[in-house]
Amino acid sequence: MEEQKYTAADFKSDQYVRWCPGCGDHAILAVLHKAMAEIGVPPYMTAVISGIGCSSRLPYYMNTYGFHTIHGRGGAVATGFKVANPAMTVWQVAGDGDGLAIGGNHFIHEVRRNVDLNLLLLNNKIYGLTKGQYSPTSDRGFVSKSSPYGTTEDPFIPAELVFGARGTFFARSIDVELKVSQEVMVAAARHKGTSVVELLQNCVIFNNGIHNFITDKENRADRTIHLVHGEKMLFGKNMEKGIVQDGFGLKAVELGKDGYTIDDVLVHDAHCKTNFLHQQLAMMDGHNLPLAIGVIRDVESLSYEAEVDKQAKEVQEHKGFKCLRDMILAGQTWQVK
């Protein structure tokens, strides 16, 4: 392995981290510092851009270029930034409210355009900074300060939005899964285009234990599956279970039971162009099928800022002008002597 040029400390700012003790954001921040060191892009070539919310404070804790913008607009700011300076590696940090409610429009459009950004979507299914209202990812019936009798609406499932907007990269991890989190962040950075990483994160104050069904140590091995491209989809404490195709759907089976063998288990293909199976994998929620973590979809496509740049260069080469005056003089003019 090549020696790393940078360490996690190179990406840490001198600012005191103000998240609540026990907040899942601390773990995610620490992993991001490590992931950036592994990626190897220098801090001065890295920018972290966010909107508003607990997670959006993250840029202040980075020793990179950073911009803490306004609620929901991190994606739009990051898009303009990346188009203006495609050489920079750009990270966007958003929460479920910032990214999917007030910033929902920018979210689907940046994914559709496939701007080369790494978008960390920290999903705690609650508004923390405003002290406990339901979010667009809260389940139907969820009781919060703004839904004292339970919500009467269905949530977004972030992966579905990404696939609906023809996303080219989707990965998922959990704040407590440090290794997987680092793995998906590095993969996100290496993918050209909008890389959406959903991070299930615990809000210790207003929504403590919201992901417990998944993260609970007792059951985590049975309720999650770590997908790796090219590898069999196995899970369980002893990797004794697998995912098999079942008609148009997926099914979890135990190897050696009901005649299923290792040969029936699907091999993960994150690079498959069509997203039909990726969607099914991303929609598994830990109940009948384990929740998928790891890189679920990672396909190559044209990225927006590179195409904007390329087109400008092509046009300039074929019919470009040296300066404004030359361009105007090439049009309709007349001379007064």
Confirm or reject binding of residue 257 to other proteins (CB under 8 A): no
Confirm or reject binding of residue 332 to other proteins (CB under 8 A): yes
Binding mask 3-42 for other proteins (x = CB under 8 A): ----------x-x--------------------------x
Decide: 187 and 214 in contact? Cβ < 8 Å: no
* Smallest separation (angstroms) from other proteins to the CB of 36: 12
Confirm or reject binding of residue 152 to other proteins (CB under 8 A): no
Site for other proteins in 95-124 (CB under 8 A): 105-106, 109
The dihedral formed by the CA atoms of 211, 212, 213 and 214, expressed in degrees to the nearest 10: 70
* Smallest separation (angstroms) from other proteins to the CB of 337: 6
* Smallest separation (angstroms) from other proteins to the CB of 116: 14
Decide: 43 and 33 in contact? Cβ < 8 Å: no
Angle at alpha carbon of residue 177, lines to 31 and 56, rounded to 5°: 50
Decide: 324 and 258 in contact? Cβ < 8 Å: no
Total chain residues near other proteins (CB under 8 A): 59
Query: E strand or H helix at 94, and its extent?
Result: strand 89-95
Name the residue type at position 245: Q
Binding mask 285-314 for other proteins (x = CB under 8 A): -----------------------xx-xx--
Decide: 29 and 93 in contact? Cβ < 8 Å: no
For other proteins, the closer of residues 259 and 331 by Cβ is: 331
Confirm or reject binding of residue 337 to other proteins (CB under 8 A): yes
Decide: 135 and 98 in contact? Cβ < 8 Å: no
Q: What is the spatial distance between Cα 192 and Cα 44, in angstroms, rounded to a whole number?
A: 20
Residues that bind other proteins in the complex, under the rule CB under 8 A: 13, 15, 42-45, 47, 49, 52, 59-60, 62-70, 73, 75-85, 87-88, 105-106, 109, 308-309, 311-312, 315-316, 319-321, 323-325, 327-329, 331-337
